Structure 1
Amino acid sequence: MTSGADLLRIENLQVSFSLMGGKIDAVRNASLRILPGKVTALVGESGSGKSVIGQTIMGIQPRTASVKGRVLFSDPQRALAEPVDLLRLEQDGKPMRAIRGNRVGLIFQEPMTSFSPLHTVGNQIDEALRIHSVLTPRERQEKLEETLDLVGFSNPPKICNMYPFELSGGMRQRAMIAMALICRPALLIADEPTTALDVTIQAQILKLLRDLQSRLNMGMLLITHDLGVVANIADEVAVIYQGEIMESGPVDEIFRAPSHPYLKGLMAAVPHFDMKPGERLKALRDVVIDKESLIGKKTASVDKTQGVLLTVDNIGKTFTTRKSSWFTAGKATTTKAVDGVSFEIRRGECLGLVGESGSGKTTVSKILMRAVRPDEGSITFHSRTGDIDVLSAKDDDLRELRTKIQMVFQDPISSLSPRMTISNILSEPLEIHGRGDARYRAEKVRNLLKAIGLGESALNRYPHSFSGGQRQRIGIARALTLGPELLICDEPVSALDVSVQAQILNLLKDLQKDLGLTYLFISHNLAVVDYMADRVAVMCEGKIVELAPREALMRNPVHPYTKSLLAAVPFPDLDRPLDFSTIAKISATGKFDWGKQFRDSDDGGLITADLGDGHLVLANGNVDIAELRS
């Protein structure tokens, strides 16, 4: 196909960076195309060069980058003109500025850091129109509200006057899409547009992008590591590894007959619902665990029938917010973040806790860690030395509790101090709790690093010098320092690519088996929970709406909210596409579509119904159990 038939053609692109230790080739002789009105997905691990290609197309690559090759852009508005080589344009020159943000739009990966916190959403989206159009203020406002309506906002004038921090993650991503589309570009570059969004919001964003791309006849470069997203939205696929394009072609050929071992490896690393009991994810690079460095030669496995480790009984938490101005006091509003939540975690098991963003999952974890005090309810930790009241523990009981319950955080970058070496980070808990002398602590830290597959060379390095997966492994090692019985894992793999995710999930499963750990595993990815959990609790608007053994919940869900969550998981399988027609009914806001047996009403309130074999569901008290099962 000739260059003139393509919207964008990249030919032999090379991007390198000069460092003190030499030169790093971020992109090596990469070639790919984007057709008008089609979606090309660029797939690869973190660090493979995907985002560098997107930045180079936009002319926003770092000035230290050395770039060779050609990036030919054929603007449909200039159909008779020769394609423009974007690399020959000056980065800040007038011709490039006329294209960037106008004819080529970009959706950034993290909308919270891409928006200015000091300006309203409307002001920031309107900036592109002020730069690239000659419209009057009234015309710009009309175009702005029209675009916000296009991306799914029900009240565009209100959104215009809000600040980014007032919007949820999904709403911020919609606003970012509106900013990229305000000038109706011919090409849209979407850099990981759904990373770290929960499955329901991700499904809505994917539907939105597909509808807008079709409606506006845009070409799209979708940069992602999620093969499920690719299978549901892409027309063509290019697979990149260490800066080189390994395989490219139509999505049908790539998924049905992958030829390169790297692509096959990526597909094998994705957790899915068809996995057999005991089957492991095939990580591209396995982490070798040295369990003997932690527990000696004796295996510390735990029988899951040994009883309950943690009992949570009817906890509730309400937050009050007050929006004030200089001259008015403002009206207080209350939000019930956690509403009558009860569950047990059995010794040695993994309890999965799933739900949309804002459903109350993280608030529950903070209550368990005593970072947030609930308004009501009780929590009891059944230690081997006796029961501990978690909410009222003091002095020695509290110090013991801190050693028994530890947490693995969602974002290892912000949870590891950038000013401390790895040696300091791992030895700090030992120092706080007075464990051993300096020699003992140094030996313990070396054993921890060895156990998670990192050598002694990591001791004096800082967190920024490690990859995302390595940082998460360090976070897990820190949580294991004091020998806890319960690990609370709050979205530990949500921001990691599939290959690193497979590493971390396998590591957690191995540690559970070898150390006899108990997990509360919080996630929005039900395929990940299906791989990790023994039982699963589903949260919606602060309540647990369904709790059941993993197989029962995944294979035979009862509550409509659980069914909707499962329906929103994108499969890396062309024969199992997302049903976009049901996307609008997915979230908790679609509860009006739930049957009467699951809605609160005047003639019957909600109760937790027992369907047998540990399967509980929140339902109307007047409904027969047999009706729920059907």
Structure 2
Amino acid sequence: MDTGADLLRIEDLSISFAMMGGQIDAVRKASLRVLPGKVTALVGESGSGKSVISQAVMGILPKTASATGQILFCDPKLSTGPVDILQMPPDGPQIRALRGNRMGKIFQEPMTSLSPLHTIGNQIQESLKIHTDLTARERRQRSEDMLGMVGFSKPSRAFDMYPFELSGGMRQRAMIAMALVCQPSLLIADEPTTALDVTIQAQILKLLRDLQSQLNMAMLLITHDLGVVANMADEVVVIYHGEIMEAGPVETIFRKPCHPYLKGLMAAVPHFDMKQGERLKALREVPVDASSLLGRTPATQANAAIKLQSDVLLSVRDISKTFTTRKSSWFAKADNQPHKAVDGVSFDIRRGECLGLVGESGCGKTTVSKILMRAVTPDSGSVMLSSAEGPIDVLAAQGDALQKLRTKMQMVFQDPVSSLSPRMTIQNILSEPLEIHDRGSGKSRAETVKALLKAIGLDQRHLNRYPHSFSGGQRQRIGIARALALGPELLICDEPVSALDVSVQAQILNLLKDLQSELGLTYLFISHNLAVVDYMADRIAVMCAGRIVEIAPREILMRAPVHPYTRSLLAAVPFPDLDRPLDFQTLNTGGASDMRNWNAAFRDDEAEAALSAADLGEGHFVLANRNADVRELRP
């Protein structure tokens, strides 16, 4: 094939790292291309070599890396013709003239990629200062134009703001502006939407598509989300353990996948068309045996005995929480600005069910979970736990009653890296809850720890290892085992799979389902991924701006959502299906929580008391104006 037709062509690229224990081959004989004005998606799991390839293209490989092969960059604006990036000195003038100028990169985590000490404007105009002869005023104007192009309503104000003053979505937009301010011919987007809400993700994808056509720019899109690939890519390259498994046009890849790895990746993605009881097919199944935990603790005995009952386990009534933000300079007087994070939230969790709680970042989901776990004290409201040993007032429990409550409710955290102590072995991590609550003798604790490891599919030889030596999925399984150590009746899972690959995510979700059925567990499952909640939950509560706006059984909410916020969330989910593309035209530009686009029946323009939960039947409730006709609310 003629290399002149390709903007970027990678030939037989191999990248290895010199390590203490020998050489690690991160990429092996990889070949791919990016056409001018087109999107090539590079798809694979964590550790497959995607980001290392992008580093090689940008000339920013670490010094411990050695690379062979060719990376040919053929920019029409370069008079020299195709240049081989691997032949350029890493910090030489040639690669520095390309980097940030003709090639831009968006990094995965904008908060760690943007300097906290410099304003957004300073960081965006740095490329212009290096690569152009523009005056300071022209640089500011170009930067503000770019900020306006990526969706900032007040570019001149955003120019002087610091990264910590922006939301995650806005920081990602600032990062895009920084990458595109010199109008490069190639943009490398490394997982640009992984950490974002589904609605913000849809906005960023629409923005990238619009900018790509406006600037006639090519894109190398690195992702593990097949829904994003189906909506964005022209060509797809699938990589596994540093080797290219399959490559071709997006139509061929999705409609006629050939390689078993690609087929397995597609089967591991939760989607809305799954039948009742259908399981995700994880690429590597983990053998789970929770039978050894049954009867080991009083709570698991009780769970097993009463798991068929449908009585309410946890009853939450009218909890509210207001936080006060102190905004002041060195000399100004402190200005207390109250923010209502949770506003009159009520729901029940029935014994043995999984209640899904969904909503955008900042809607109050995690604050609710912290209130339930007694990590945050609410301003008002009540929480009652109908334990097998009698009712417990969660918010009033003190002393021995609080200690007892801790054994009934446990939490699985979002990030297993930061929630597991790096100084403790797995043996110590899993036995610590048993020691704190004085459960059993040293010998029986050791047996319980082995039973926990067996339940989550890990081997006993892992007991003396530290968390850093495990993969992300294994660390999350250890977090689940720790939560199960005391045999809780309720498990609160706060975004337990958001940081994981699709294939590892399938393992964890299947594990949670298996544990629920075998141990009779009850879950509150918090997530912003609607497809994951659809797979896990029996009922779903949708949260917006501190309130629950809709709650219904899973099949009703997914099939016939009533509230405009719920419908906006569902419309923003990218399907891994070419026949169901995202409708970018109807996406809410202000986000799903922008009430200006809501029907008047759902807005509280006049007074808060005007809104109440309307009963639509079959356990379906929606927050609407008291004067609205419930029958007219259905779409």
- Report the TM-score range of the alignment, normalised by the length of the smaller protein: over 0.9
* Paired residues for 1:268-283 under 5 Å: 268-283=267-282
Q: Distance in 2 between matches of 1:561 and 1:588?
A: 5
1:301 CA displacement: 6.8
Secondary structure of the equivalent of 2:213?
helix
Counterpart in 2 of 1:264?
A: 263
* Conserved? CA contact 1:313–1:341, under 8 Å: yes
2:398 to 394, 398, 403: 394
* CA deviation string 1:65-104 (max 9, x = no partner): 11100000011212x5320100001111111111111111
* Conserved? CA contact 1:561–1:587, under 8 Å: no
1:302 CA displacement: 4.7
1:331 CA displacement: 2.4
* Conserved? CA contact 2:326–2:336, under 8 Å: yes
1:552 CA displacement: 0.5
Q: Distance in 1 between matches of 2:346 and 2:583?
A: 33
* Paired residues for 1:405-484 under 5 Å: 405-484=409-488
* Paired residues for 1:199-598 under 5 Å: 199-295=198-294, 300=304, 302-585=306-589, 587-598=591-602
Question: Which moved further from structure 2: 404-413 or 422-431?
Answer: 422-431
Q: Distance in 1 between matches of 2:36 and 2:90?
A: 24
Q: Distance in 1 between matches of 2:446 and 2:120?
A: 50
Counterpart in 2 of 1:614?
A: 619
Q: Percent identity?
A: 73
Secondary structure of the equivalent of 2:345?
strand
1:296 CA displacement: 6.1
* CA deviation string 1:309-360 (max 9, x = no partner): 1110000111111211111114222211110100000010000000111111
TM superposition outliers: structure 1 runs of 4+ over 3 Å: 296-299, 301-306, 601-604
Counterpart in 2 of 1:20?
A: 20
Question: Which moved further from structure 2: 154-163 or 243-252?
Answer: 154-163
* Conserved? CA contact 2:285–2:507, under 8 Å: yes
* CA deviation string 1:237-276 (max 9, x = no partner): 0000111101101101111111111101000000011111
Counterpart in 1 of 2:77?
A: 77
Q: Distance in 2 between matches of 1:504 and 1:260?
A: 24
* Conserved? CA contact 1:541–1:588, under 8 Å: no
Normalising by structure 2, we get a TM-score of: 0.97
Q: Which amino acid aligns with 1:624?
A: D
Q: Distance in 1 between matches of 2:168 and 2:613?
A: 31
Secondary structure of the equivalent of 1:145?
helix
* CA deviation string 1:472-526 (max 9, x = no partner): 1111111111111111101111121110010000000000000111000001111
* Conserved? CA contact 1:356–1:587, under 8 Å: no
Question: Which moved further from structure 2: 431-440 or 94-103?
Answer: 431-440
Number of residue-to-residue matches in the alignment: 629
Q: Distance in 2 between matches of 1:134 and 1:457?
A: 62
Q: Distance in 2 between matches of 1:295 and 1:602?
A: 54
Q: Distance in 2 between matches of 1:41 and 1:602?
A: 48
1:587 CA displacement: 2.4
Q: Which amino acid aligns with 2:434?
A: L
Q: Which amino acid aligns with 1:127?
A: E
Counterpart in 1 of 2:97?
A: 98
* Paired residues for 1:114-129 under 5 Å: 114-129=113-128
* Conserved? CA contact 2:16–2:25, under 8 Å: yes
1:589 CA displacement: 4.2
Q: Which amino acid aligns with 1:20?
A: M
* Conserved? CA contact 1:564–1:586, under 8 Å: no
Q: Distance in 2 between matches of 1:482 and 1:88?
A: 58
CA RMSD of aligned residues (A): 1.5
Q: Distance in 2 between matches of 1:175 and 1:50?
A: 23
Q: Distance in 2 between matches of 1:586 and 1:304?
A: 44
Q: Which amino acid aligns with 1:192?
A: E
Secondary structure of the equivalent of 1:263?
helix
Counterpart in 2 of 1:605?
A: 610
Question: Which moved further from structure 2: 435-444 or 306-315?
Answer: 435-444
1:601 CA displacement: 4.2
